[in-house]
A and B are shown apart, each in its own frame.
Chain A
Amino acid sequence: MYEAVLHDDHHDHKPTGIGRWLFSTNHKDIGTMYLVFALIMFFVGGAMSMVIRAELFQPGIQYVDPQFYNSMVTVHALVMIFGALMPAGVGLANWMIPMMIGAPDMALPRMNNMSFWILPFAFTLLLSTFFMQGGAPAGGWTMYPPLVLQLGDGLPYLVFAVHFLGISSIMGAINIIATVFNMRAPGMTFMRLPLFVWAWIITAFLLIAAMPVLAGGVTMLLTDKFFGTAFFDAAGGGDPVMFQHIFWFFGHPEVYILVLPSFGVVSQIIPTFSRKPLFGYTSMVYATASIAFLSFFVWAHHMFTVGMPLTGELFFMYATMSIAVPTGVKIFNWMATMWKGSMTFETPMLFAIGLLFMFSIGGFSGLMMGITPVDFQYHDTYFIVAHFHYVIVPGIIFGIIGGIYFWLPKWTGNMYDEKLGKLHFWLSAISVNVLFFPMHFIGLAGMPRRIPDYNVQFADWNAIISLGGFVFGLSQLILVWVVIKCVRGGEKATDQVWEGAHGLEWTLPSPPPFHTFTTPPEVTDATAHS
């Protein structure tokens, strides 16, 4: 990837062989490893969703035992969230943050390496449970007790995998905060930072606050099973619902941890392809921070049916509804950026606009679910599945993919194949709606979630949904092809790559040398964020 620049830069020597990757302390290489790992895990999780959709294609049980099906549902989510989405986000952060702030690397390069290499280890622990007595976890990614404690030999592996994933994320978050706080080039004030960097600062603080809570909760699962505690066992004076409170206190900030980086990517892409500065920079920073702050006060909307006191139900309803306000502010600011711009629609812009439309659909269903009395009908149905897949797939994932297309020319020095990129976008955008929109219908009509079989009234929609799923899954192979093709070669990319691109990262060569900004750059308002 860096071969083109090597012969010109005497200081661009880099390690070779397997050691280059195993012992890397370079933010570009580590970013690449995170992204490659995430892409692999995306297909692993995706394969599991194909098993799910194959079984749900028709009524009746055709292919898998219901117990194994539940494992697919559970591990699909764990792999996607912790193995694909979060590592992809951190991969983009690793690649781009130092370059965006004019720093030579991350603040703690060795810890950066460890953060990455924990991931394959943790997933080996998790996926090995498929081969154990009792099978892989099958109680949902939410791991509610008492059900999760019925798992056989795999329980400690699940718990330790979660512990390690948490440690990796926390170390990554620490690294990002230290990098941005201590290593900005002179003149790169906080209010000149690209919004992607702001998004990551805020996400990093969320990670530090939320992950330890998850770690605590799963530790309690372990001690309940093996060390005689009864946190979640009523017979021993405990309460299964307490786990839900603990889990979702982590779980709600977690969804913002997942989405804020993608919002950051959108804030880089839209101004670039509108040839216009981001509208309302200050508001965007405050809105992002508000979303993060409010996210700590809404967790029980995931548990509206547990039987909370009325006051609790009302509080969480009002708090949940309030998050719509800063989120709306962000959508409107992006629209105002596009407004009266001069837009072109290359692949990154397509994915960003796709996110605006379809994340909003997810936002609408989310608002509906926030209304407690109606959520009593929606909860644990396919309506919920529709909501979170809309915000995750054409939301978070489109943001990540948009970022990949946006930055691939910078990383590799080659333009990716625009025709293939557009094909990937359109196939994905259409199939993702065929896949997830009908889920609203069947959820409302009464189909619960996490079931391998259903009454025949749901058959037609399930068949359509499964077809959408198969097309969507296959379409993602185009991304792999685009990336491989781009790494190998393509039209040479300029430093700026995109006509409307502004920021320090776009002053570097494409591809950048192994070490960049070893001398801090000059930062003025002109070279700061778009």
Chain B
Amino acid sequence: MSDDGQNSAEKDLAKKNIRLAIILGLIAAGFYIGFILFYF
């Protein structure tokens, strides 16, 4: 599976997925960093 030959609908879906992943990743990382800042 490669990114070539993606149509615009697939590109939109990929954007949505990456955006949600970044948000969730920031939440998880945020918990960790917040934890560190709080305690350290």
Which residues from chain A sit less than 8 Å from chain B, CB to CB?
Answer: 25-26, 105, 107-109, 111, 170-171, 173-175, 177-179, 181-183, 208-209, 211-213, 215-216, 219-220, 223, 229, 231, 515
- Contact residues in B for A212 (Cβ distance below 8 Å): 28-29, 31-32, 35
Q: Decide: B39 and A111 in contact? CB cutoff 8 A.
A: no
A204 CA to B40 CA, complexed, in Å: 28
The closest CB in chain A to the CB of B38 belongs to A216
Q: Decide: A182 and B20 in contact? CB cutoff 8 A.
A: yes
Contact of A183 among B1, B13, B36 (CB under 8 A): B13
A300 CA to B24 CA, complexed, in Å: 28
For residue A144, give the distance in angstroms from its CB to the closest CB of chain B.
Answer: 17
Q: Decide: B1 and A25 in contact? CB cutoff 8 A.
A: yes
Could you show 27 A-B contacts with beta carbons less than 8 Å apart?
A26-B1, A107-B20, A108-B17, A108-B21, A170-B28, A171-B25, A173-B24, A174-B20, A174-B24, A174-B25, A174-B28, A177-B20, A177-B24, A178-B20, A178-B24, A179-B17, A182-B16, A183-B13, A208-B31, A212-B28, A212-B32, A213-B35, A215-B32, A215-B35, A216-B35, A219-B36, A223-B40
The closest CB in chain A to the CB of B20 belongs to A178
Q: Decide: A178 and B36 in contact? CB cutoff 8 A.
A: no
Contact of B39 among A108, A215, A231 (CB under 8 A): A231
- Contact residues in B for A179 (Cβ distance below 8 Å): 17
Most buried by B among A26, A109, A209, A212: A212
The A contact surface, by secondary structure, is helix
Which residues from chain B sit less than 8 Å from chain A, CB to CB?
Answer: 1, 13, 16-18, 20-21, 24-25, 27-29, 31-32, 35-36, 39-40
A212 CA to B39 CA, complexed, in Å: 14
- Contact residues in B for A219 (Cβ distance below 8 Å): 36
The closest CB in chain A to the CB of B31 belongs to A212
Contact of A174 among B16, B21, B32, B39 (CB under 8 A): B21
Known pairs A108-B17, A178-B17; list 5 more (Cβ under 8 Å).
A109-B1, A208-B31, A212-B31, A212-B32, A215-B32
Q: Decide: A181 and B31 in contact? CB cutoff 8 A.
A: no
A220 CA to B21 CA, complexed, in Å: 27
The closest CB in chain A to the CB of B2 belongs to A25
Q: Decide: B17 and A107 in contact? CB cutoff 8 A.
A: yes
Q: Which 9 pairs across A and B sit closest by C-beta, in order of nearness?
A: A216-B35, A212-B31, A212-B32, A107-B17, A174-B24, A178-B20, A178-B17, A170-B28, A25-B1
- Contact residues in A for B35 (Cβ distance below 8 Å): 212-213, 215-216
Contact of B31 among A26, A213, A220, A223 (CB under 8 A): A213
A333 CA to B18 CA, complexed, in Å: 37
For residue A260, give the distance in angstroms from its CB to the closest CB of chain B.
Answer: 18
Most buried by A among B13, B17, B27: B17
Q: Decide: A105 and B31 in contact? CB cutoff 8 A.
A: no
Q: Decide: A216 and B17 in contact? CB cutoff 8 A.
A: no
For residue A375, give the distance in angstroms from its CB to the closest CB of chain B.
Answer: 28
Q: Decide: A216 and B21 in contact? CB cutoff 8 A.
A: no
Q: Decide: B39 and A220 in contact? CB cutoff 8 A.
A: yes
A213 CA to B27 CA, complexed, in Å: 12
For residue A237, give the distance in angstroms from its CB to the closest CB of chain B.
Answer: 13
For residue A33, give the distance in angstroms from its CB to the closest CB of chain B.
Answer: 16
Contact of A208 among B1, B17, B24 (CB under 8 A): B24
Q: Decide: A181 and B28 in contact? CB cutoff 8 A.
A: no
The closest CB in chain B to the CB of A229 belongs to B40
Most buried by B among A111, A178, A219, A515: A178
The closest CB in chain B to the CB of A219 belongs to B36
For residue B12, give the distance in angstroms from its CB to the closest CB of chain A.
Answer: 10
- Contact residues in A for B31 (Cβ distance below 8 Å): 208-209, 212-213
- Contact residues in A for B18 (Cβ distance below 8 Å): 108
For residue B14, give the distance in angstroms from its CB to the closest CB of chain A.
Answer: 8
A466 CA to B16 CA, complexed, in Å: 53
For residue B3, give the distance in angstroms from its CB to the closest CB of chain A.
Answer: 10
Q: Decide: B17 and A182 in contact? CB cutoff 8 A.
A: yes
- Contact residues in A for B28 (Cβ distance below 8 Å): 170, 174, 208, 211-212
For residue A173, give the distance in angstroms from its CB to the closest CB of chain B.
Answer: 8
The closest CB in chain B to the CB of A215 belongs to B32
For residue A187, give the distance in angstroms from its CB to the closest CB of chain B.
Answer: 17
